């Protein structure tokens, strides 16, 4: 069984400020973790993923996330927000590390809407 | 990069009719396809997983007779919403994964409105 909790359904930052979107997970097998971004009326775009290699993962558009097993967290950060970063962000977990019935099946968090102010 | 398309991008239908949504992987062979449903202001919920040439596996609470999934080839999966009702109105998103890959590629979604 696996689940994802995103803390904060809405996050608002000023342009140029640090972006921090929080994600905690639970998984009965070694997890694969993902961050996706969704713009209005569009599908999901992969920002980055953790698949048991380096714990600090760098993604597209300047985003990165750090896998912390002891904290069961995978928070998404970006040093300096741009207006174009305004979107909804989803954290997801997959039981991909050890295969099994959860392999490939993504469980999504509730999503966090990021607003960027000028 | 890998591209997944969905058709149609939006559809409006009358209550009681059936609607078919196509999901295609354009430049790779998708051994597994996933169908998700997203209600307004909510997260994606996995409906079913389909592997090419075999029956789809539905998540708990999803009616298999209402949401018919056919994964007829390595590049095409279809979702048919049978006897649609207003409560079926939602954003339906498919994703596709190639054999051995640890990520899914998502389609742009289909917005279904049932009147």
pLDDT, chain A, mean: 89
DSSP string, A68-102: ETTTTEEEEEESS--GGG-EEEEEEEE--TT-STT
Q: Measured between CB atoms, which of A32, A51, A106 is closest to B46?
A: A106
- For residue A33, what pLDDT is reported? 92
- For residue A6, what pLDDT is reported? 95
Q: Are A30 and A98 in contact (CB under 8 A)?
A: yes
- For residue B63, what pLDDT is reported? 93
- Cα distance between residue B108 and residue B98, in whole Å: 18
Q: How confident is the model at residue A99 (pLDDT cuts 50, 70, 90)?
A: very low
Sign of CA dihedral A73, B59, A112, A103: positive
Measured between CA atoms, how close is B39 to chain A, in angstroms?
Answer: 11
Question: What is the average pLDDT across A72-87?
Answer: 96
DSSP string, A6-46: EE-SEEEEETTS-EEEEEEEEESSPPEEEEEEE-TT--EEE
- For residue A101, what pLDDT is reported? 44
- Cα distance between residue A80 and residue A65, in whole Å: 14
Measured between CA atoms, how close is B15 to chain A, in angstroms?
Answer: 23
CB pairs under 8 A between A and B: 50
- For residue A96, what pLDDT is reported? 54
Report chain B (115 residues): mean pLDDT per 10 consecutive residues: 89 97 93 90 88 88 94 92 96 89 86 96
Question: What is the average pLDDT across A78-83?
Answer: 97
Element (H, E) at B67: strand B67-73
Measured between CA atoms, how close is A81 to chain B, in angstroms?
Answer: 23
- For residue A1, what pLDDT is reported? 76
Higher per-residue pLDDT: A102 or B23: B23
Measured between CA atoms, how close is B112 to chain A, in angstroms?
Answer: 12
Which residues in chain B are closer than 8 Å to A34, comparing Cβ atoms?
A: 103
CA dihedral B79, B84, B90, B91 (to 10 degrees): 30
Residue of A nearest to B36 (CA): A106
pLDDT digits (tens, 9 = 90+) for A1-44: 789 999 999 999 999 999 999 999 998 777 889 999 998 877 88
pLDDT surpasses 80 at A108: yes
List, as ranges, residues 33-92 from A with C-beta within 8 Å of B: 34, 36, 41-46, 49, 51, 90
Strand partners, B7: B22
Q: Are B22 and B78 in contact (CB under 8 A)?
A: yes
Look at B103 and A105 and tell me if their CB atoms are within 8 Å.
no
Look at B106 and A43 and tell me if their CB atoms are within 8 Å.
yes
């Amino acid at each position: 069984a696996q689940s994802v909790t995103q803390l904060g359904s809405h996050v608002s930052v000023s342009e140029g400020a640090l972006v921090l979107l929080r994600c905690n997970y639970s998984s009965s097998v070694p997890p694969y973790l993902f961050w996706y971004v969704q713009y209005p009326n569009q599908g999901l775009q992969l920002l980055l993923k953790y698949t048991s290699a380096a714990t600090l993962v760098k993604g597209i558009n300047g985003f990165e996330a750090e896998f912390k097993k002891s904290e069961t967290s995978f928070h998404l950060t970006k040093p300096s927000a741009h207006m174009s970063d305004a979107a909804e962000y989803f954290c997801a977990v997959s039981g991909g590390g050890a295969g099994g019935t959860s392999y490939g099946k993504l469980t999504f968090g509730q999503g966090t809407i990021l607003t960027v102010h000028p | 990069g890998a591209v997944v398309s969905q058709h149609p991008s939006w559809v409006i239908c009358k209550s009681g009719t059936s609607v078919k949504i196509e999901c295609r992987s354009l430049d790779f062979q998708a051994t597994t396809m996933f169908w998700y449903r997203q209600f307004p202001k909510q997260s994606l919920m996995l409906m079913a997983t389909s592997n090419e040439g075999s029956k789809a596996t539905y998540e708990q609470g999803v009616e298999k007779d209402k949401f018919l999934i056919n994964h007829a080839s390595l590049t095409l999966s279809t979702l048919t919403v049978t006897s649609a009702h207003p409560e079926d109105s939602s954003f339906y998103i498919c994703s596709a994964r190639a054999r051995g890959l640890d990520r899914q590629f998502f389609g742009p979604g289909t917005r279904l409105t049932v009147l």
